Structure 1
Amino acid sequence: MPMMPDLQRPWAKLLRNEEKVVVAALPLVDHCLDVGAVAEIVLQAWRGPLEAAAGRALGEQDISRLAVLAALHDLGKANRGFQARIDPAAELIGHTGQVAALLNHSKLKRTPAAVALQAMIDDWDAEQHFAAVMAHHGKPLGEFHEAATSLDWGRHNRHWMPEGDGDPAAAVVPLIEAVRERWPRAWEAGPPLPLAPRFVALFAGLVTLADWLGSDSKRFPVAGPHGAERVALRAEAALAAAEARGLLALDTPAGDFVAAFGNAPYDFQTAAGDWGPVALIEAETGSGKTEAALWRWLELRRAGQVDGLFFALPTRSAAVQLQRRVDAMLTSVWGADGPRAVLAVPGYLKAGDASGQALPGYAVRWDDGATGEERWAAERANRFLAARVAVGTIDQALLGVLPVKHALFRSSVLARSLLVVDEVHASDAYMTGLLERLLDQHGAAGGKALLLSATLGSGARARLLRQTPLSPEAAEAVPYPALSGRGVAPRAARGATGRDKQVRVEVAPIMEDASAIAMRAVEAARDGAAVLVVRNSVAGAVAVAQAVAELAPELAFAVEGVATVHHGRFAATDRERLDTAVTAAFGKGRGRGGRVLVGTQTLEQSLDIDADLLLTDLAPVDVLLQRIGRLHRHARAERGAFAEARAIVLRPAERDLTPLLKGRALHGLGGARRVAPYPDLLPVEATLALLEDRPDIAIPRDNRLLVERALHPELLDALAERLGVAWQNHRNERNGGAAVDAQAAGQVALDFRRRFTEWLPFDGGEAVATRLGARDLLVDLAQPLAGAFGGTVDRIAIPAWMAPGVGDAAVEARDAHGFSIGSYRFAYDQWGLRKAD
C-alpha cells in the first residue's frame, strides 16, 4: 500500500524501490532551501548580465529577495492533488499554475499563507518576478497572465481547500517562515526589485537552472539528512553543484596568440578596440576569422566582460569539425585539466574528445568513465548553452528567442557568453529577423556577439549592425576585408589576406545531366586533380556521386572503401567518420593523386577542404563565393595542370531562367518559398550574368564588388525592370515574401520588452521550431541499422519535413537497411537517409 501524504509536512521528492514503493521522501522545505542556496550562487555568477538587464546595480538585498523567490518555486507542491501522487496510480496534478488559485480565490487568498505571500509580493513589487518563478518548468503560465480569470485558475481551487485530512494552504506557512529565517535581509526595508522586463525574463531562465541543479539527488539526497542536519550539506552541495557545472569563475591564464594557436597572428586577429555589443569580421574563407574570434573571447574573458563561449555555425558538419579545433585551443590555454568544448548538436554526445552513449531513462554512459563540468550540458539539447564552451548550430541559439519550452533558460544562460555566429549571410529574411532579435536581447543583457562572414551584403550588414543602408556605389567602396560593429564604421582588416587568388570561372549548361557532371569531374581527377562537386540538393548530389562511383570507382570519394556522398542525412556515428575522411582526403595534409568528392552545402562551410577544381550548381553569388573558397585553400608547391584555380558553374541547359519563375524548383533554383534553398531567382540571374561577363575574378579583391552587384536591392530592382514584367512580378512576390518572412520573424520571436505577465504560454512554438530545423526527430532504433561504413547505427535524426505529424509513432524495423515510423518508410545506406519507395 502506498504511504499516505502528510499535508502538514508536505514532501517535494520521493525515492521509490523497484516495486514503486516509497522508501524515502524529501520534505518540501528542504528542497526549496536547496534550490534557494543554488539560486544565490547562480545569481552571483550572472550578476553582470542581471545588472545590465535591470539598468542598475543589484544590492545584496536584491540578491536575497531573488533567492527567496527562487526558493519558493515549488510552494505549490503543498496542494492536495500533488501530495496524493505519493500513490503512483494517482492523477497527475501539478504545482505551478495551482499557486494562482491560492492567491486569487476569494476564500483561499485570506489564508495566512496567501496573505504572507501577497504582502511579500506587494512590498517588493515582485508580481512579475513571482510569475517568472512559476514558469520554472520552461514556459509562462496562463494562470499568471494579467488577463487571467477564474476560468484559468479556478479548476485548481479544490486542491487547496481544507478537509478532514488537513489544510494544504496551512503547510505553506512553515515554508515561508523557513525561507525568511534563511534570508532575513530580504524582508528588511528597501527599494523594490528592478522591473525591467528583460531583467525579469533573465531571472526566469536562471530559476530553471537553479531548480535543475538543486534537484540533483546525488548532491541533494532525498533520503536525508533533513532539517537542521541538512544545513552544512546544503551549503557544500550548492557550491559543488555550481562548480561541477562550470558556473564559478575561471581565470584565464596569461599567454599570447602563438601559445593558443601555434602560429603568429595577423594584425586583424588581435586588433584592439571596442566594437560595441555586436562586432563583425568580413574576410575571405580561410583567412583566420575563427582564430580571431577565439582570441577575442580570450581577451574579453581576461577583461572580465564575458565568461562562456557559444560558437554558432550553419551546419552540423561544420560544428563537428570546429568543436575539435576549439577543444584543441582550450587544451593549449588551460592544459589537459581545463574546460572542454561541448558539441551542441542534437544526436551527438560529445564533450572534449570523450563520447557518450544514451541509455534508457535519459542516462548517459561516457566512454572514458569520467565526469566533468561540460558533461551535464552535453547530455541534453536544452542544456547545451549552459556549457562554459560549446560549439553548435545557430538554431540552438535562436531557440532562445522563440516561443518554445526552455527558451528563457537558453537565452538566460547564454547572456554571460560571447556569441559567435559564423558564415552570416542574407539569403533568408526569416533567419536574419530572428538573428536580429537574438542580438538585441543578448546585447541588452550585457552580452557580446561577434559575426563572421565572407560574403555579407550591405543590406544585411545594415540590419544586423543597425546602420543606414548604403547606395550601390558606397557599398562597393566599403573596404574588404573589414572590421566593424554597432556604432563603429568599417575599417580595413589588415593582414586578413595575402595575395589575390585568381580564379577562372566557366559556365557549363549541364546542370540537369548527372552523367555529364560526373564525366567532367572524373576527367579532371584522371589528370591528377582533387575535384569538389557541390550541388544544391541531396538528390542532385547523390545522383552525381553514384555516377562517379560507376564511372570511376577508384576515383570516387570513399569511407572504409565504400563510395559515398557528403550531406546532412547521416547518423552521427557515420557522419563523424565521413567528416574525418573528407579532411584526410581533401584537407591541408592530403596526398597527391586525383579524386572526386560530391556533396551539398555541407561542404561549403568550415570544413578544411583544399580542392584543385570546383564544379558547383548555380546559386547566388554569396553562396558561390563560399564554395569557391574551397579552391586552393592551402599553398601547394605542385598542382600540375591545375595551378590556376578553376570553377565550373553548372547552369540549366536553357540559358533563359524565365520558365523557372512559375515552375517547380530545378536543382534548388526557383520553386516555392521555404521549399527550395534558392527560390528568389533574381539574385541567381544577376550572378549568372555577372560571371558570364567576368570569367576571371580575383579573391578577395573582387568579393565586395561581386556581392554588391549581384545582391544590392537597388541593382536587383533595376535588373527586374530590364528583364520585363514576369521578372518584375517575381521581384515583387519575392520582396513581399521576404517582407512576410521578416514580419513573421518579428511576430513569432519573443519580445523581451513586454512584461512577463503579458506573455502567453508557449503553445505555438513547435511550428516555428520545425521551420528553423530544430525539431528534427531523434529516433532510437530498437533494432540497429547497418552503418553506412560498417558497424551499426542505433540512433538517427530524421528531418521534421520528411515525417510531418508522426508524434509518438512507434519505430518499426524492416531490415538492416530500413525502418518505418508511422506511415513513413525510410532506407539507410552509403548514400544516407532517404524515403523508401
Structure 2
Amino acid sequence: RMENRSDREKLNKFNESPEWETLRQHAVQLLRSHFVSHWPETLPEPENVSAAIVALNGFCILCDWLGSDENYFTPKPNMPLAEYIVHSRQQAYRRVKDAGLLQTAVSHTPATFSDLFPFPPRPLQTLTDQIPASVLLRPVLIIIEAPTGEGKTETALALARRIAALRGTDEMYIALPTTATSNAMYTRIQEHLRNRLGLPPELVQLVHGQSFLVKDDLTIKPLENADGEEEAAQEWFAPKKKALLAPFGVGTIDQAMLSAMNVKHNALRQIGLAGKVIILDEVHAYDTYMTTIIKRMLSWLAALGSSVILLSATLPQRRRQELIESFAGSTVSLPCPDRYPSLIAINTAGELYTPDREISVYQPNKTIQLERLYFTEEQAAEKAQWLWQQVQNGGCAAWITNTVDRAIAIHKALQHIVSDDVDVSLLHGRLPQEQRQELETQIIGKYGKNGTRPAKGIVVGTQVLEQSL
C-alpha cells in the first residue's frame, strides 16, 4: 500500500512499483532465454483463428493440471536456477509420460479391409479400399447408410485405419446413443486394438456417466508381462473431463457433444477430439435438438482437423445435406441422392467421392413382412394374448412400446397366460443400473448374433430395447 501521492505516482500501467517491474522483467528474460530462444521470430497464421484459440486454451488447461501436481513439482528454494530448470524439465517429462500422453497410438497393420478382417468383405465393405487417398488426406466426413447386418461398424473401423495410415495416428472416439451400446462396443474395440491393430487394449477409455460402475468388469486384463504404464495412465484419464484425451475412447454421444456447448472445460474436450477419427453410430436415433448440437460439433471437428464417420440406418435428404454443409462449409450436389445403401465422402476442400454403381445388399433375398395391428393403449391383455399366440408353437418375439407403464402392463398380462416353457423378459429405463445391466447381458446372450435362442421367448421393452440392444 502506497502511503503518499509521490509513491503512487511511481506505479506503472500494471500498477507495479519499480522494484516489482524490475523483478517481472527479469523473470520474463529468464523464461525467454531458457524456453523461447529457439523459437522462430514469426509463426504462420492459423487457417482458423477460432479453432487455434480454442486449441491453445485447452492445451493451457492441460498443462496447468499437469504442472500443478505437487507429487512431481515441489518447491526448491535453495536450488540454483540452472539446476532447477534441468530438474523441472526431467520432472515435466516424467509427468507427461506417467499421464499416458506419450503412449503410441500408431498401428503398423496394413490398411486394407482384408488385412484387418479375416472374412470376405460384404458389398458395402469393399468400398473402404476404393475411396481415393486424396479425399482422406484432409479432414473428411463419411456418411454410411445401410440396413442392419450390412457391416457398417467394420466398414467404419476399416476406414478409420485407412485415414490413420495416411495421417499418422490411429486415435479415435466412437460415440453411441446409450450406455448399453457403449459398454458392448468398449469390449469390441479393446479386442480390435489387441487382435487387429497390435496395440494395448488398455489405451481404450470408456466414457459415459455410469462407466465407473461397469468399467472394471468390461476391461480386458493386461498381459502378465505388461509394465503397468498403460494401466497407470488409464487412472489419470478416468475423470470425465480428461477422458476424451485418451488415445482411444468409446462412450455416449453426449460426451462428445459437450465439446460444442458452452460448458466449463469444453476446450479440453475439443483438444481431446482434435485430429482423431470420430465415429458416430445410430445417427438416425437423434432428435432435432441433438442434431443441431451435432451439426455445430461437426463444424468444430472439421476446423480442429478431425475426420468424422456417420453411421445410420437411413437419413432424410435434408438432414444429410445439413450434416455435409456443417462439416464441409458448403452444400454439395450428390449424383444419386436416393441411392440406398449409400456411402458419401467429402473433405474440407470439397473433394467428393460416391460409388459409381449401386451398392448391393448382403442379404438380397431377405424379406420383411409388415402386418398392422389395431389395439388401444389400454388393451394390454389383448396384446399379451396376441404375443402368446405367435410363440405357442415355437419362436421368439419382441414387443416395443412407447412408455414404461405400457411395457409393465403387457409383461404382467403375459405372466398370467403363458406356459412355463416360455422365456419372458422385460426391459425398460426405470430398472436399477445393476439389474438393467444384468438383464441386457442375458438378453444379448439369448437373442444376440451368436445367442442360444430359447424355443419360445418374448421380450417386452420400451425404445431402450431398440436403441440399446
Fold conserved (TM > 0.5)? yes
Q: Is the 8 A contact 1:314 1:394 kept in 2?
A: yes
Partner of 1:110: 12
Cα pair distance change 1:337/1:222, threshold 3 Å: farther
Mapping for residues 389-404 of structure 1, pairs under 5 Å: 389-404=248-263
Cα pair distance change 1:511/1:293, threshold 3 Å: farther
Q: Is the 8 A contact 1:284 1:454 kept in 2?
A: yes
Mapping for residues 224-303 of structure 1, pairs under 5 Å: 228-248=82-102, 249-255=104-110, 257=113, 260-269=116-125, 270-273=128-131, 274=135, 277-303=140-166
Partner of 2:460: 598
Name which of 181, 187, 194 aligns with 2:33: 181
Q: Is the 8 A contact 1:342 1:352 kept in 2?
A: no
In the alignment, the residues of structure 1 paired with residue 36 and residue 209 of structure 2 have an alpha-carbon distance, to the nearest angstrom, of 44
1:373-407 Cα offsets, whole Å, 9 max, x none, are: 33322x22222211211111111111111101111
- Output the amino acid matched with 2:36: P
Q: Is the 8 A contact 1:555 1:596 kept in 2?
A: no
1:543-563 Cα offsets, whole Å, 9 max, x none, are: 3233333443846757xxxxx
Cα pair distance change 1:370/1:547, threshold 3 Å: farther
Question: How much does 1:410 deviate?
Answer: 0.8
* Identical counterparts, % of pairs: 27
RMSD: 3.6
In the alignment, the residues of structure 1 paired with residue 277 and residue 172 of structure 2 have an alpha-carbon distance, to the nearest angstrom, of 5
- Output the amino acid matched with 2:447: F
- Output the amino acid matched with 2:429: G
Question: How much does 1:207 deviate?
Answer: 1.4
Q: 3-state DSSP class of the match of 1:582?
A: helix
Partner of 1:422: 281
Partner of 2:318: 459
Tell me which of the two structures has the higher relative contact order, counting C-alpha pairs closer than 8 angstroms and 6 or more residues apart. 2
Name which of 393, 399, 411 aligns with 1:533: 399
**2:57 matches 1:204:** yes
- Output the amino acid matched with 1:197: S
TM-score by length of 2: 0.80
Q: 3-state DSSP class of the match of 1:465?
A: helix
In the alignment, the residues of structure 1 paired with residue 458 and residue 76 of structure 2 have an alpha-carbon distance, to the nearest angstrom, of 62
In the alignment, the residues of structure 2 paired with residue 218 and residue 496 of structure 1 have an alpha-carbon distance, to the nearest angstrom, of 57
Mapping for residues 474-623 of structure 1, pairs under 5 Å: 478-486=338-346, 487=350, 488=352, 490-491=354-355, 492=357, 494=359, 496-512=361-377, 513-552=379-418, 554=420, 565-588=426-449, 589-605=451-467, 607=469
In the alignment, the residues of structure 1 paired with residue 321 and residue 293 of structure 2 have an alpha-carbon distance, to the nearest angstrom, of 15
Partner of 2:184: 321
Q: Is the 8 A contact 2:113 2:158 kept in 1?
A: yes
TM-score by length of 1: 0.47
Cα pair distance change 1:110/1:278, threshold 3 Å: same
Q: Is the 8 A contact 1:522 1:548 kept in 2?
A: yes
Question: How much does 1:303 deviate?
Answer: 1.5
Aligned length: 432
In the alignment, the residues of structure 2 paired with residue 393 and residue 595 of structure 1 have an alpha-carbon distance, to the nearest angstrom, of 30
Question: How much does 1:191 deviate?
Answer: 5.1
Question: How much does 1:572 deviate?
Answer: 4.1
In the alignment, the residues of structure 2 paired with residue 295 and residue 411 of structure 1 have an alpha-carbon distance, to the nearest angstrom, of 24
Q: 3-state DSSP class of the match of 1:509?
A: coil
Question: How much does 1:452 deviate?
Answer: 0.7
Question: How much does 1:294 deviate?
Answer: 1.1
In the alignment, the residues of structure 1 paired with residue 109 and residue 315 of structure 2 have an alpha-carbon distance, to the nearest angstrom, of 34
Q: Is the 8 A contact 2:107 2:199 kept in 1?
A: no
Q: 3-state DSSP class of the match of 1:264?
A: coil
Q: Is the 8 A contact 1:260 1:329 kept in 2?
A: no
Name which of 371, 394, 413 aligns with 2:231: 371
Q: Is the 8 A contact 2:202 2:220 kept in 1?
A: no
Cα pair distance change 1:287/1:547, threshold 3 Å: same
1:548-593 Cα offsets, whole Å, 9 max, x none, are: 33443846757xxxxx532334444334322211111111222341
Partner of 1:333: 196
1:402-442 Cα offsets, whole Å, 9 max, x none, are: 10111111112201211111111286222222111111111
Cα pair distance change 1:191/1:412, threshold 3 Å: closer
In the alignment, the residues of structure 2 paired with residue 544 and residue 281 of structure 1 have an alpha-carbon distance, to the nearest angstrom, of 36
Residue range with higher mean Cα deviation, 182-191 or 512-521: 182-191
In the alignment, the residues of structure 1 paired with residue 167 and residue 130 of structure 2 have an alpha-carbon distance, to the nearest angstrom, of 15
| Consecutive unaligned residues in structure 2, runs of 5 or more | 1-7, 222-227
In the alignment, the residues of structure 1 paired with residue 20 and residue 433 of structure 2 have an alpha-carbon distance, to the nearest angstrom, of 49
- Output the amino acid matched with 1:590: T
In the alignment, the residues of structure 1 paired with residue 332 and residue 235 of structure 2 have an alpha-carbon distance, to the nearest angstrom, of 44
Residue range with higher mean Cα deviation, 573-582 or 284-293: 573-582
Q: Is the 8 A contact 1:324 1:352 kept in 2?
A: no
Question: How much does 1:173 deviate?
Answer: 4.8
In the alignment, the residues of structure 2 paired with residue 493 and residue 374 of structure 1 have an alpha-carbon distance, to the nearest angstrom, of 44
1:637-659 Cα offsets, whole Å, 9 max, x none, are: xxxxxxxxxxxxxxxxxxxxxxx
Question: How much does 1:457 deviate?
Answer: 1.2
Cα pair distance change 1:188/1:262, threshold 3 Å: closer
In the alignment, the residues of structure 2 paired with residue 440 and residue 346 of structure 1 have an alpha-carbon distance, to the nearest angstrom, of 25
- Output the amino acid matched with 2:54: A
- Output the amino acid matched with 1:272: Q
Q: 3-state DSSP class of the match of 2:175?
A: strand
Q: Is the 8 A contact 1:514 1:540 kept in 2?
A: yes
Cα pair distance change 1:545/1:277, threshold 3 Å: same
Question: How much does 1:309 deviate?
Answer: 0.7
1:521-540 Cα offsets, whole Å, 9 max, x none, are: 23323322111111222333
